[in-house]
Amino acid sequence: MAVLHNRVSRKELKERLQNETEPRTTISFYRYLPIADVPAFRDKLYVDLSALRVFGRVYVAGEGINAQVSVPASGFGALAEYLRGLPGMEGLRLNVAVEDDGKSFYVLKVKIRAKIVADGIEDPSFDMARKGKYVDAEAFNRLTEDPGTIVVDMRNHYEFEVGHFENALEVPSDTFREQLPMSAEMLKDRKDANIIMYCTGGIRCEKASAYLLHQGFTNVFHLEGGIINYANVVREKGLDNKFRGKNFVFDDRLGERIGGEIIAHCHQCGKPADTHTNCRNEGCHLLFIQCAECATQFEGCCSPACQETIHLPEEERQVLRKGLDGGVKIFNKSRARLKPRPGE
């Protein structure tokens, strides 16, 4: 009987990854397509990807598949052939990471979700088949030369904070489901303008383009392959790079450099910085931006209270963590400072 879940400890998996001698390639991909039997598709995918020594996160739903994974460099071709051979996955785009140390993932997780992107859309007439037009890197640059073009960032505020395209419109929110109606409201007086949506790898902006068309907008585009593909094409073709700063990514790297600028600031001292980190206090785990000096001063913590906590005996830390929801997780833009930790 096939093994359908990981059964090895996290410690051992990380040790195995560190001991690998062959470099790994980190890639992301998605495809909106109807999947009739999601559990069966999920199980087959887990078995087949495990055989290819793939690590990472794969989400499967009735509307399609979304994945961020790594594969041994020598197995990239076999993985591409396998994925593109699945029904409905022909010609699948594989976005290769811009900066990659090969250590982005250490275990394979294939999970079933209600949707591959949580969107909050309940209208049964909404149809992903009616979506905006793709634009590649060259078309994106050309369209953005027109001052009447509106470029809309469909990522979370903490992603926008460290990097975005020139003159991009931010839809300040913690979640994509909040952003969709917000974007339509913000643009309601420009329904006939050229609107280009973008995101990290294309999955969110593709759905956002379909949403705006559903709301009556007429000239909606979305950046093919997102920021990741844009950066690779710009580099390969020597095009003008219109992205400023760093691209936030949802793996252990937490970011990859696209533009040379640092456009964000340390959340503790205000110095230029764009390195995201999670607070070392397990009961907090806040995601925030911290410069090297503050990382040393606060020992990787977001506040003096959390810094004190990490030096307590494990038994006391466990008591403090009881009843907590795992922390704030992200820096909330609606607050003037970091949310106080318990005890402050």
Residues 6+ apart with CB under 8 A from 102: 20, 23, 24, 25, 26, 70
Q: How many CB atoms lie within 10 A of CB 44?
A: 15
Interior CA angle at 131 toward 113 and 169, to 5°? 90
User: Which 3 state secondary structure label does DSSP give 240?
Assistant: coil
Is 199 annotated as catalytic?
A: yes
Closest by Cα among 336, 184, 185, 170 to 267: 336
Task: Name the pairing type of β-strands 150-153 and 194-198.
Answer: parallel
Task: Name the pairing type of β-strands 150-153 and 108-112.
Answer: unpaired
Residue in the structure block whose two tokens are 């006939």: 192
| 77-85 own/partner pairs: CB under 8 Å, 24+ apart | 78/52, 79/27, 79/49, 79/52, 79/54, 82/48, 82/52, 83/29
Interior CA angle at 21 toward 18 and 27, to 5°? 75
Closest by Cα among 105, 41, 48, 52 to 78: 52
Q: How many CB atoms lie within 10 A of CB 204?
A: 25
Which is the catalytic residue, given 199, 205, 291, 294?
A: 199
Task: Name the pairing type of β-strands 133-135 and 219-223.
Answer: parallel
Active-site annotation, residues: 199
